Structures are given as C-alpha cells and as structure tokens.
Amino acid sequence: MGKLKSPLILLSIIVMVILLLTACSSGNPAISEGSGDNSTEGKSNKESSELADEQVLDISLSAEPPTLHPAKLNNVTSIIVLDQIFDGLTRLGPDGEPELAMASDIQVSDDKKRYTFTIREDAKWTNGDPVTAKDFEYAWKYQLDPENAEAPNAYLFYIITNAEKAKKGEVAVDEVGINAVDDHTLEVTLKYPVPYFKKLIAGAYFYPVNHKVAEENPDWALEAGKNYVTNGPFKLVDWEHKNKLVLKKFEDYWDAETVKLETINMPIITDPNTEHKMYQQGDLDFAGNPTGKLPLAAIPTLKKEGKLKADFMGGTYYYTFNIKEKPFNNVNIRKAFTYAINREAIVENITQSGEEPALNYIAPTIWDESEPYFKDNDIAKAKELLQIGLEELGYSSVDEFPAITLSYNTSEEHAAIAQAIQDMWKENLGVEVILENNEWGVYLDKLATGDYQVGRLGNSVQVADAYTMLETYQELSGDNYTNWTSGEFNKYMEASITETDPDKRTEFLKKAEGVLMDEMPILPLYYYMSAYVTKDYVHNIKVRNGYIQFKWAYISEH
C-alpha cells in the first residue's frame, strides 16, 4: 500500500489527514458501483431481527502495522487499525461527514480561527480513565516537540498558531495554540480559517493519547496489554506480531449501543493469492483494498461475475524522482521518463479495477474538472526531451546514459507495474532499468535517506481538498522524498491559505499543481481505486477514499 500523509501511502505516507470521499462510479459496467458501504436497504428495526448470534468479522491485513502510535504514523495499515480503536474529537459518519465523537460540542469564533471543544463526560479510556482535554493537548504537542523526531506528520498541525515555530525550536511548545482549559474544555487557535478543520481532526494523526499512561511508560504502544489504552469502538486484545491482531468491542465506549460487532479477527496475510483463497473458503468475510489486496489474476473473473466492488479513492499512484543527483536533476530527463509511459495499457492489463490514467497529480474526485498536463504515451515528445536532457547533462548519446534503478516495495502489483515500465523505458527511450524491491520498512528508510533514483509512492488524501495533496511539496520534510522545492510553488500555496473566495483559492491551487507538473519531481501513473469483495451477510462496512470503518458493521443470519 502507498505511503500516506495519510497514510497512504500510506502513502504515504503515502501524506496521510481525514475525509472519506463519496465514492464515484468507474464507468465500467462489469464493476459494481461502490456505494461506500455494504448496506442492505433495511432500516434499524429490520437490522436487529437480521443480526446473527455470533458477531465476528474476519478480515485480513496485508502487512504488519509498523506502529500503533498515533503520533508515529507513516502507513495505511496502521491507520486502518487505529481507526477502529480510537476516537478523535470528531469521527467521519456513515455519509463521510464529521460527527461529534469525543467532543460533545464545538464552538467556533466569528473569525473562524478559534475552536472550543467540550469533551464529553462519558468518554473513557479502556483502562477506565476519563478522556480529558489534556489527553488531546498532550498528543498534539507531542508531535510538535522538536525532541520527538518520530513524528513524521507534525506538519499537519502547522495550521495551528505557533505550531511550525515550535517544531523548528523557535518558540516553546507551550506557546502553541492548543490549550486544555480544564478537563472538559480544549481550545485550539488556528493561524487562518481552515474550512475542512472539523474533518481534518477526525483523522488518526489527531487522535488523543492517555497522557498519564504515556508519561509513565514511553513504550506504551509497542504491545497489546494493560498499557495499550484506547478510546474507540473497539479495543486491541491481542497483537501477535507478523501473525494477527484481534479487536473486541469496547463495552464502555460512549456510543457502544451503535456497535454490533463483538470481535474482529485480523490475520496478517501478505500474499494476495492466499487472501483470495481464504475468502473463497469462507475464512475471510472481506478481501481486497484497503485492508488487503486481491490477486491481479482474480480480478477479471470477479468483474465478469459482478462480485467486484470498486470506489475511487481520491488519491494517485505515482513515482517520485530523487532530483538531488544525476540524471534526474535535469527536468527534461524527468519529463522524458514521464511521457514515455503507456498508462492506459497499465490500467487495462495490470490493475484492471477501473483505474484511470493520471495525467496530472490531483485526483479527479478532488476537483470537478481538471485539464491534463501532458499526453499519455507521448513517445515522440519523450524522445525529443530526452535528447535535450542528454545534451544538457553532457552525454553525446543515450548509449552513454547510465542504467537507472527503479525501486518499489514488495508487492505483486508494484512488481508488475515496474516490470511494464522497465520495458517501456527500454523500448521508448533506449534506457536500461534495474528493478529493486524491499519490504515496506526498509523501502521507506531508503526513500527517507535519498538512497534511490526513482521510487514508487501513493497519496490517498483523507481530506477532499487539493491543498492536502500538494502541501507535501512545500518543504523538504515529511513525505517529500524528491529533494525538490520551489519558491513559485510555495507562493501559490501560501496565497491559497488566506484566499476566502473558493474559486480564486482553487485557481491558486491549480497554479501550484501546474508548477509541480512543469518541473516534474514526481511522475503520476493512475488514480487509485479501492477494489474489494465482501460476503452477502456482512453489512455496513464503510469503505471510502481508501479507508475503512467497522463501527456500524454487523453480521446477518446466513
């Protein structure tokens, strides 16, 4: 899965912060139009009569969660688990809109910059402690403390007064606009109005942490047990690393009456073929994105049978260039490699889940309309730009051009795409390409240290706003592995922050995307689809924008 800001890809981490988009049809009649859930049409009174005696859901994870600490997130798998066992101030409801969660009331000042949250009195941690405003203040400021290097998403808090200055050590963390007035009152002051703030704080990066437990035991999040305390619909009762996780309903959850599932079993199944076989045998109730992955070979049959469900994820699968060193320090070389790819062939013959070729960075679900910045499979233009780049770098011909290393994290799909692109670059540009794959953790370390030339990433945004996809590239930190920055790009991004007219703000963001595409530090490939299958007796699993929630799910008689 991709690194997310956030989460993810993951990506990142894939830059992974929270809104589940209303799903869009792929336009392919062979794929069921994902509604964002698996609901039946029955009302709540019918639901109760349908409930099976045993409310156990079996659903696999495609990888071991690298962390279950909200402040240290850098991947989708961790977010998937945390979204079930934590509650933020808000939670995205069944329709993808923010609902009150840990906050029982939210007051916003006239200038839209000061938020006052009332923490509900019936909110509890799994150890029985009350959830307090201090838990939110602690968790958020933890990420902004310069001493806590393992907080890759601190930049998401920079919309808060003094947050960025605190992370850079320019002011004390106590001067950040996050203040627990008392146990039940949290006051947050923003630098400027943020129209999607209530949605943003529903995300995993903004979850609270029990400050008493964390201060007494800094390693509280490493294992399931008495120290691992959460406040969501479910609680973590078992974590056998690289084997399985088990969640149980949290009986004292403030909205426990809504939660029907008693147990969620999450075996870790890294092989898509094994996952699909277990689903066919009835050992899994759900298979595919976002928790796992269906084997590529199975997708055509599932489409033909009408069993495959697919939703646009509001994100982009792309490659990132390391522009610090030759040859990708040259923009014409980067563009040549970008144009010399047949994306249509990739989505039709490899991914096969209704994906669309990405001819810009921002996913079409973010904007109603978006003009392509380049043509797909533009071989003539690619060769022209390659020749210009070769001359600028001092090569007399492509024969002198060094072999390129294309890196990706281990996955059947990533490997198939990389192999196809390897062939395209060889055939269309005459360039030798070496493929390199590593497990996710190792792969991320190589990207972070610049030990790569071209690498695979994905960005599935959790807030339906172009700013959240573009902000990664405002500075050399977080998920920006390109070593690219641009004053012009930053100018448009900063202008969008203070612009109150929606149309003018969109114009600034499109100009920022234009700079990104003109300088091409990244190579868009296709827009993500979440493809999955689920048993008929499983209802109300909410799948939107590449994320999943089980709070409303239930098992009917079967």
Question: How do residues 256-315 score in pLDDT, each as one tens digit?
Answer: 999 999 999 999 999 999 999 999 999 999 999 999 999 989 999 998 999 999 877 778
Q: What is the pLDDT of residues 38-82, one digit of tens each?
A: 543 333 445 545 899 999 999 999 999 999 999 998 788 999 999
Answer yes or no: is pLDDT of 24 > 50.
no
Are 465 and 7 a contacting pair, CB within 8 Å? no
Answer yes or no: is pLDDT of 475 > 90.
no
Please give the average per-residue pLDDT across 511-519, as a whole number: 97
User: HEC profile for 210-260?
Assistant: CHHHHHHCCCCCCCCCCCCCCCCCEEEEEEECCCEEEEEECCCCCCHHHCC
pLDDT band at 205 (very low <50, low <70, confident <90, very high): very high
Q: What count of Cα atoms within 13 Å lies in the side-chain half-sphere of residue 45?
A: 0
Provide the strand spans (E) within 15-55.
Answer: 32-33
Q: Is 530 helix (H, G, I), strand (E, B) or coil?
A: strand
**pTM score, whole prediction:** 0.79
Which runs of consecutive H residues, i.e. helices, occur in 39-185? 44-50, 76-85, 133-144, 163-167
- As given in the structure block, the two tokens for residue 487 are 């004053």
Q: Give the per-residue pLDDT at 16.
A: 33
Q: What distance, in Å, lies between the first and last C-alpha atoms of the chain?
A: 32
pLDDT band at 6 (very low <50, low <70, confident <90, very high): very low
Q: What is the pLDDT of residues 103-141, one digit of tens each?
A: 999 999 999 999 999 999 999 999 999 999 999 999 999
pLDDT band at 461 (very low <50, low <70, confident <90, very high): low
Helix%, strand%, coil% for the chain, nearest 5: 30, 25, 45
Q: Is 439 helix (H, G, I), strand (E, B) or coil?
A: coil
Answer yes or no: is pLDDT of 348 > 90.
yes
Are 151 and 71 a contacting pair, CB within 8 Å? yes
Residue tagged 């001067």 (tokens): 175
